[in-house]
Amino acid sequence: MDTELVGQRVVLRTDRRPDDATLVDDFTPELVDVGAHHLCPGCGEPIAIRSAVECIAELGAVERTISVFGIGCYTAFSNNLDIEVLQALHGRAPSLATGVKRMRPDALVLTVQGDGDMVNEGLQEVLHAAARGENITCVLLNNGVFGETGGHITSTTVLGQRTKNTLDGRDAERDGYPILIGDLIASMGGTAYAARGAVNDAGNVARTRRMLAAAFATQERGEGFSFVEILTMCPTGWFIETQESPDYLADVIAGTHQIGVLKGGDVPKGDR
């Protein structure tokens, strides 16, 4: 391999494709039209959405997938995707998805919402959809802050977590306790599959992808409501350095919102 000089350092060249190698992962998967976006450095949401659209592509369900997006930072990323996207009112994505699925039962219907959208603004929407056993998949991108408005506390912010209005950490006496939405939904009778993943390292990204595949498979089999909560990094809203955010997620966020399959599916060893 050729080398080049960057600054004062000799490194291996990474500006052109090698002749004697096979491409195993492209810049973007086929359903992400444009990789460039305006989300902050170190944001976990593009990683999570990439995993979801790669699952849809692997399932061969691209042409019949209809996604419903809530309101949050990730909403801007919907423009980059080559799948059908409907824009819901704040918190109302599960209800819109219910209508879509009932009119188009052959479609693969998923919602993409943040914790502010799903758990603060529209908690009753997702709970009622789960209780009714709607045959849709709801994906929650949970970073414990209202990222789009500057990093304020949400209902999933864990005790001790830094946000814009809890710079010393969430205090139970002052701010109350977090809602463990994944566990709440897993307790609903209409829920066929519920899991909580994360995108803070490559292992958890792969594990989360298996959870998304299991949720979509649950919907395809017509078994009822499926739900995947994905813990994502928000170094801007957490007021920490980007390189600290994967460990902060593991130590602080996942300490309360524990990663694993919560209900249904083939539970991999160690995922409970």
Is 17 one of the binding residues for another protein (CB under 8 A)? yes
What's the closest the beta carbon of residue 149 comes to another protein, in angstroms? 20
CB atoms within 10 A of CB 119: 26
Nearer Cβ to another protein (7/60): 7
What's the closest the beta carbon of residue 251 comes to another protein, in angstroms? 14
Burial of residue 76 (number of CB atoms within 10 Å: 0-12, 13-18, 19+): middle
Nearest to 131 by CA among 94, 180, 86: 94
Is 246 one of the binding residues for another protein (CB under 8 A)? yes
Nearest to 139 by CA among 200, 68, 203, 223: 68
Is 21 one of the binding residues for another protein (CB under 8 A)? yes
x/- mask, another protein, residues 211-240, rule CB under 8 A, reads: ------------------------x-----
Is 145 one of the binding residues for another protein (CB under 8 A)? no
Q: DSSP letters along 79-103, please?
A: GGBSSEEEEPPTT-HHHHHHHHHHH
Nearest to 236 by CA among 112, 146, 120: 146
What's the closest the beta carbon of residue 178 comes to another protein, in angstroms? 25
Is 18 one of the binding residues for another protein (CB under 8 A)? yes
What's the closest the beta carbon of residue 240 comes to another protein, in angstroms? 12
Total interface residues for another protein by CB under 8 A = 48
Phi and psi (nearest 5°) for 42? 80, 5
Sites of contact with another protein (CB under 8 A): 1, 3, 6-18, 20-28, 32, 35-37, 39-47, 50, 199, 201-202, 205-206, 235, 242-243, 245-246
